[in-house]
């Protein structure tokens, strides 16, 4: 299945296995997401019935090894995210939160018992997870989180609040990050624990087919072994954010590709001044610029995926990928919308829905500004965060 917007044959760099994985997820998106997404987005419906199907497709914890996880490569994971986000960023986010954040936290920082207890059921979609780092007053600056955990006998007691936490109101388990004597630690918290409350955030103008919540933690008591034992400190959550940010490097480009393909198809059909829009030079310029930017960003994402599979990918390179892909994708979606004229503001066409979603994708897992400053520090040696 080649795509018309692949002007430089990026596909030739993929193996048959990678193409097969990509095409399988693409077929799933065509069958299960594309026919419904406009309605889900307009009515803010979160298709929770899809979660088990996503698991059955092998998409939860896709690039983790063992514990019932599929053990795919980073490139296959990235390509799967690209296809899912061609459907909708909100649906790709479900897979990111479950696999790259919640499962990844247990996989990277958990004890053997914790991994055995949670990961197989999460891979099968029987348990949905969420990941609570961001707080009402600590977004870009998680070092200043206010949530705390204190030891009381055989238990930990967690108090605080989290905000913008994906899936929290439908999750059975939450990875909660809290300070213990000033050091950030992760806890596995069943969401039916007394004192844990997740409330979906309403009136979103972006990511309408997905859930983000406020969480309140009011004297939440969990057993001593709820603590994730490995990697204390902020590097714990950051090691998980690396996975989610990497996924976005590929994923956002799926939204861009879908918007570009929709615009190309519309431009060939729609006539003004007695000829198709595609025959106007200004339209061709938009289409070519979009395709070239998409292909360039896809090449970067693929390069980073190969580095991840080789074990050489650095967090700064992930920032370069996330920043480039988000910027490229949102520009493409906005430009694609212009080709539809007024029709482009309806849910009949995907570009504006994708652009609205990408406002969130640009912002979560590190804003455009934060990733710029991470790369600025890399270039100059000077940290300019504060
Ligand atoms: P600094 O305090 O110097 O570093 C703390 C420790 O962390 C290490 N580290 C990393 N380790 C692995 N991967 C990375 N990407 C890492 N970045 C930092 C660092 O080496 C240090 O380790 P150690 O052993 O020396 O203690 O922090 P910094 O100056 O490096 O970072 C500052 C800054 C602004 C870059 C960082 O705070 C940052 O990335 N902020 C953005 C936070 C962010 O992305 N938040 C989004 C969270 S998403 C969410 O909560 C909701 S989940 C999505 C959903 O549910 O839908």
Domain annotation covers residue 287: yes
Q: What is the pLDDT of residues 362-377, one digit of tens each?
A: 999 999 999 999 999 9
DSSP 135: B
Domain annotation covers residue 170: yes
SS3 category, 58: coil
75-96 mean pLDDT:
98
Q: Mark whether 246 and 219 lie in a shared domain.
A: no
Domain count for the chain, please give it: 3
Assign residue 345 the CATH number of its domain. Answer: 1.20.140.10
How many angstroms separate the alpha carbon of residue 147 from the centre of ligand 1? 16
Q: Report which protein residue has its CA nearest ligand 1's atom 3.
A: 234
Q: Answer yes or no: is pLDDT of 320 > 60.
A: yes
How many angstroms separate the alpha carbon of residue 133 from the centre of ligand 1? 10
How many angstroms separate the alpha carbon of residue 196 from the centre of ligand 1? 25
Q: Answer yes or no: is pLDDT of 91 > 90.
A: yes
Domain annotation covers residue 5: no
Q: Mark whether 43 and 180 lie in a shared domain.
A: no
Q: What is the pLDDT of residues 219-264, one digit of tens each?
A: 999 999 999 999 999 999 999 999 999 999 999 999 999 999 999 9
Domain annotation covers residue 119: yes
Q: How far apart are CA 135 and CA 210, in angstroms?
A: 19
Q: What is the pLDDT of residues 104-126, one digit of tens each?
A: 999 999 999 999 999 999 999 99
Q: Mark whether 300 and 217 lie in a shared domain.
A: no
Q: Are 326 and 253 in contact (CB under 8 A)?
A: no
Instruction: Give the mutation target among 129, 133, 177, 238 for probing the ligand 1 site: most ligand atoms within 8 A of CB.
Output: 238
Q: Mark whether 258 and 360 lie in a shared domain.
A: yes
Angle of the 235-269 helix axis to the 351-363 helix axis, nearest 10: 160
Domain annotation covers residue 294: yes
pLDDT at 9: 97
Q: Are 376 and 382 in contact (CB under 8 A)?
A: yes
For the annotated catalytic residues, the residue numbers are: 365
Phi-psi region of 2 (alpha: psi -120 to 50; beta: other; left: phi over 0): beta
Whether 365 lines ligand 1, by a CB cut-off of 6 Å, is yes
Domain termination site, one of 226, 252, 284 = 226
Whether 226 lines ligand 1, by a CB cut-off of 6 Å, is no
Q: How far apart are CA 65 and CA 119, in angstroms?
A: 10
pLDDT at 330: 98
Q: Mark whether 202 and 239 lie in a shared domain.
A: no
Domain annotation covers residue 1: no
Q: Mark whether 75 and 148 lie in a shared domain.
A: no
Tokens read off for 124: 């099968």
Q: Mark whether 162 and 250 lie in a shared domain.
A: no
pLDDT at 2: 67
Q: Report which protein residue has its CA nearest ligand 1's atom 56.
A: 166
Angle of the 235-269 helix axis to the 281-310 helix axis, nearest 10: 150
Q: Report which protein residue has its CA nearest ligand 1's atom 37.
A: 141
Q: Mark whether 206 and 290 lie in a shared domain.
A: no
Q: Which ligand 1 atom is at minimum distance from the Cα of 133?
A: 50
Residue the block writes with tokens 């917007």: 5
Whether 201 lines ligand 1, by a CB cut-off of 6 Å, is no
Q: Mark whether 100 and 178 lie in a shared domain.
A: no
How many angstroms separate the alpha carbon of residue 237 from the centre of ligand 1? 7
Q: Mark whether 241 and 371 lie in a shared domain.
A: yes
Nearest to 300 by CA among 4, 47, 8: 8
Domain annotation covers residue 113: yes
Distance, C-alpha 322 to centroid of its chain? 10
Beta bridge partners of 179: 148, 184
Assign residue 80 the CATH number of its domain. Answer: 1.10.540.10
Q: Are 67 and 123 in contact (CB under 8 A)?
A: yes
| Structural domain of 109 | 10-123
Domain termination site, one of 199, 226, 253 = 226
Domain annotation covers residue 154: yes
Domain termination site, one of 123, 139, 174 = 123
pLDDT at 3: 82
Residue the block writes with tokens 């388990």: 173
Q: Mark whether 72 and 163 lie in a shared domain.
A: no
Q: pTM of whole model > 0.85?
A: yes
Assign residue 208 the CATH number of its domain. Answer: 2.40.110.10
Tokens read off for 267: 């431009």
Q: Mark whether 370 and 292 lie in a shared domain.
A: yes
Instruction: Give the mutation target among 204, 234, 369 for probing the ligand 1 site: most ligand atoms within 8 A of CB.
Output: 234
């Amino acid at each position: 299945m080649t795509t018309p917007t692949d002007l430089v044959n990026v596909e030739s760099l993929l193996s048959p296995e990678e193409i097969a994985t990509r095409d399988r997820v693409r077929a799933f998106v065509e069958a299960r997401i594309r026919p419904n997404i406009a309605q889900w987005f307009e009515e803010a419906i979160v298709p929770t019935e899809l979660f088990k199907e996503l698991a059955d497709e092998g998409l939860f914890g896709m690039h983790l090894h063992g514990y019932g996880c599929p053990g795919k490569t980073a490139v296959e994971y990235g390509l799967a995210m690209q296809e899912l986000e061609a459907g909708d960023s909100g649906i790709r986010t479900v897979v990111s939160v479950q696999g790259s954040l919640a499962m990844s936290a247990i996989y990277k920082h958990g004890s053997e018992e914790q991994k055995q207890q949670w990961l197989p059921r999460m891979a099968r979609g029987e348990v949905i997870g969420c990941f609570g780092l961001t707080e009402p007053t600590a977004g870009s600056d998680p070092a200043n989180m206010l949530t705390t955990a204190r030891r009381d006998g055989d238990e930990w007691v967690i108090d605080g609040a989290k905000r913008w936490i994906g899936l929290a109101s439908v999750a059975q388990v939450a990875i909660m990050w809290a300070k213990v004597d000033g050091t950030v630690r992760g806890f596995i918290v069943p969401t039916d624990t007394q004192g844990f409350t997740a409330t979906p955030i309403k009136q979103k103008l972006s990511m309408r087919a997905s859930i983000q919540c406020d969480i309140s933690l009011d004297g939440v008591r969990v057993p001593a072994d709820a603590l994730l034992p490995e990697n204390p400190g902020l590097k714990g959550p950051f090691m998980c954010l690396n996975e989610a940010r990497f996924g976005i490097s590929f994923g956002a480009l799926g939204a861009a590709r879908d918007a570009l393909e929709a615009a190309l198809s519309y431009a060939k059909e729609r006539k003004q001044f007695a000829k198709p829009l595609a025959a106007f030079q200004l339209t061709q310029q938009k289409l070519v610029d979009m395709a070239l930017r998409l292909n360039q960003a896809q090449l970067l994402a693929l390069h980073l995926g190969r580095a991840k599979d080789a074990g050489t990918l650095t967090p700064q390179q992930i920032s370069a990928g996330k920043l480039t892909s988000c910027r490229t994708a949102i520009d493409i979606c906005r430009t694609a919308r212009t080709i539809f004229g007024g029709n482009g503001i309806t849910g009949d066409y995907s570009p504006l829905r994708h652009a609205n979603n990408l406002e969130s994708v640009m912002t979560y897992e590190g804003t455009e500004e934060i990733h710029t400053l991470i790369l600025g520090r890399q270039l100059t040696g000077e940290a300019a965060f504060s």
